[in-house]
Amino acid sequence: MAKQQRNTGKSSRKTSSASSTRKTKKKTSRTKMVYAFDGKKTEGGSAMRGLLGGKGANLAEMNAVGLPVPPGFTITTQTCAAYQRSGGALPAGLMDAVRGGIRRLERDRKRTFGGDSKPLLVSVRSGAAVSMPGMMDTILNVGLSDAAVEALANEAGNRRFAFDAYRRLINMFGNVVMGVDHEHFEVEFDRIKAALRVKLDTDVPAEGLEKLCKAYKAVYKKHVGKPFPQDPYVQLEAGIRAVFESWNSERANTYRRINRITDLEGTAVNVQSMVFGNMGDESATGVAFTRDPSTGVNEFYGEFLVNAQGEDVVAGIRTPHPIIEMKKWNKEVYQELIDIRAQLETHYRDMQDIEFTIENGRLYILQTRSGKRTGAAAVKIACDLVREKMLTEPEALLSVPAGDLTQLLVPSFNAKSKKGATVLARGLPASPGAAVGKLAFSADEAVERALQGEKVILVRKETSPEDVEGMHSAVGILTSTGGMTSHAAVVARGWGKCCIVGAGALQISAAKRQVKVNGKTLGPDTVISIDGSAGEVMLGALSAPPPVMTPDFTRIMKWSDKQRTLKVRANADAPKDALRAREFGAEGIGLCRTEHMFFEGDRIIAMRRMIMAESREDREAALAELLPYQRKDFVGIFTAMKGLPVTVRLLDPPLHEFLPHDEAAQKEMAKAIGVSLDEVHHRVSMLHESNPMLGHRGCRLSVSYPEILVMQVRAIVEAAIECAKKRIKTIPEIMIPLVSVASELEMLRRLTEQTIEIVKKERKYKGTLSILIGTMIETPRAAVTADSIAENADFFSFGTNDLTQMAYGFSRDDISGFLPTYLQTGILRVDPFESLDAHGVGALVRTAIGHGRSTRKNIKLGVCGEHGGDPDSISFFHNAGLDYVSCSPFRVPVARLAAAQAALRATSCKRKNANSKNASTRNNKKR
């Protein structure tokens, strides 16, 4: 079984990203596989994170500036890439270089690796260029053996500590390297604790841990088929392989996919001299953030455990103490940690996430990295660092992940919404927000139920990296153990996902799919509400009021608007949505979908009467009923967007979407419009299409039924005239959808212009109505013939949803059967409907831009698909030269910040290119 699991890990190498297949450049620095950081030598620094990974680069950097870092060395990310390319063979010369690194450590520490006197032990940890907390493997205490553990016990005068370290190694090595299920080891630990009548791991005495090590070795031999290795170099080589393998583990690939982490070569491996937080009551381990990662408040924030090793804190197995309590435990160490906090934050000019160990009263820093934080914290920290003169405004803007702003725009519970609520339990407020859902007891269950449209809260004793996909699928996360720096807390904060940890009153049984708390039993159909800001778990579904924007949020938006060149509009179909968009800073409406207006109340009856009509006269009569509704809607939207452009898309979906398809609804429709049920059946059958996406929709409807276009254009013009009489400035833009042939637009533009003039004449309107007429570019043919289409278009708006469907030949409604496989295997890096495919669909966009401007130099260009609110896509649109993006109202702030970041990065890139060109020119002159 264990070997099968390890083979499964190896097979996943086939799914490695394309970046792993790049050929190594033939440079001296590229062939070097091991970089040292110790008391005599530092090879590397923070600028080398691509080669050394974030952890390795920062360890070297901290070592160089004199911080107390245990010595070690880093195996490069390129070595991992070479391992993946070779199918799992370590590169020639790697282990020789590793042995050289170990010899340096032996000299530095005056110890012998795995020796029977003063043994040197090391940790083997992963570390990619982009932080992936908990997603790859770690092995601690490498080098311990039956002989070395006795030597360690004698040297330390502490047998309990030595055998505690040994049992951890056997467990971690067995689980991580050989694939032995952790539960097999836990069963033995529980048996020992039961025999000794103790509950806590820390209560097991030395003789109990000695027995446990023997039991663990028996478990290892049973499941692996051979004894636990006693050769330290066998352990080390296997540990290095395991870390390389973990780069392509399912959880690591899932995390990269969720967080859109691409173009990395692999993980580095950090081999570092062990320091021990489990040597007794003068030792400890912990994790701290230089500022509160949930709120951004400038307070030292973290946790520590006395007599423990690092995994005890992050795994959530024991509930740690708040960092402030360290003052009482060891005031001197606490003050040293406070000083290092300030030094690190000043050095890196960002909030830091620090891992530390205290060995017999001596502090060591094991890691620093930019801390994961919520959207609210990111905004506050960015603004505070500007106030503290650490960052400039542009640097602050670049420090806030644009997508994280959505977290500030979601509702949260307040005192009024929680009044009278039944509080089931309280835990630690790990990640703020409000979540309401039913209980899911495993990651797989959360994924499955979320795909079915259910809102679920993942409830676990503690989470592990294997739960990552379920955590992402759930609307909230709730655990009964763990602290503010546990796995669940760190990952949830990074995603802005509502999370409560350490709710100890909950008795969670995943096997029974139930939670017992305060005499109540909750099951998979129980609805609960969790308040990630207060740490409260409440029974039932609570309502959450809309959010209130902070002054710092407003400040970030103001800074963004100073930097960006892209305009930001919103997609809105109703006056209330338009008002909300304007509140969020929208500079117009980029997409007003008129079809959404036809589904309300009596309108749908008139719409269905029009669809059932057999003659043009009957259709016009039904459309006359719809006209007042359309006009009223447009007046409302034009009023809400006073002085700003509003792009109205004429009817786009096929007519069958407005008809019912079940028998009961069809009977009701027949009665409402006065036709027979057979007539309804006949019309539904006539309108049926095998592929509606490519069928009778968009401009094709207006070509077939020009009276629909006439009614809609009339409503727009009459609304504009009505607003003008009220001194409300309107800037309507009429958008004709799904054009593929230039003559389609030519014909429909002519009809649109004629209708505008007829209405103005009927209304005796003498004023100026400036109405632009344009089209959506959403078919590949429209993109490649945009020069001829532009002859009759004042503007293009890219409908990237349909353009993506047609470019790929995918149907958004039918891709769920294969898209997950495409993402998991690396065929696609991201869902192309979430983030624009810059190479394929983007090429069509660039082609259309070039062709369109070749015909009409000042043609207005925008995008109104879902990609208009995606930060990565916005960066592409900025570089491609669009004038605006349009997105849902709640994504407007995201788009404003993303547009500013795109402008700043483009300027920085131009400056670097100019400097490089100037330097090259100077060098040529010298020659």
The set of catalytic residues is 487, 864
Residue 706 to residue 231: CA distance in whole angstroms: 83
CA nearest neighbour of 402 among 587, 568, 571: 568
Phi/psi-derived region of residue 410, left when phi > 0, alpha when psi is between -120 and 50, beta in every other case: beta
How many distinct helices (H) and strands (E) make up the chain? Answer: 36, 31
What are the DSSP E strand ranges found in 229-315?
A: 268-273, 284-289, 301-306
DSSP 3-state percent helix, strand, coil across the chain (nearest 5): 50, 15, 30
What are the DSSP E strand ranges found in 95-142?
A: 112-113, 119-120, 122-127, 138-142
Phi/psi-derived region of residue 796, left when phi > 0, alpha when psi is between -120 and 50, beta in every other case: beta
CA nearest neighbour of 16 among 208, 267, 212, 224: 267
If you count them, how many residues does the chain have? 927
Residue 438 to residue 474: CA distance in whole angstroms: 10
Sheet holding 514-517, edge to edge: 507-509, 514-517, 520-522
Angle (CA) 31-86-93 rounded to 5° is: 40
Token pair of 545 as six digits: 């009021």
CB contact at 8 A, 857 and 882 = no
Residue 617 to residue 610: CA distance in whole angstroms: 10
Angle between helices 841-855 and 800-808 (to 10 degrees): 120
* φ and ψ of 477, to 5 deg: -130, 135
Residue 69 to residue 221: CA distance in whole angstroms: 36
What are the DSSP E strand ranges found in 471-620?
A: 476-479, 498-501, 507-509, 514-517, 520-522, 527-531, 536-539, 567-571, 589-593
CB contact at 8 A, 30 and 52 = no
Residue 601 to residue 210: CA distance in whole angstroms: 76
Cβ within 8 Å of residue 199, ≥6 positions away: 193
Token pair of 381 as six digits: 């920290």
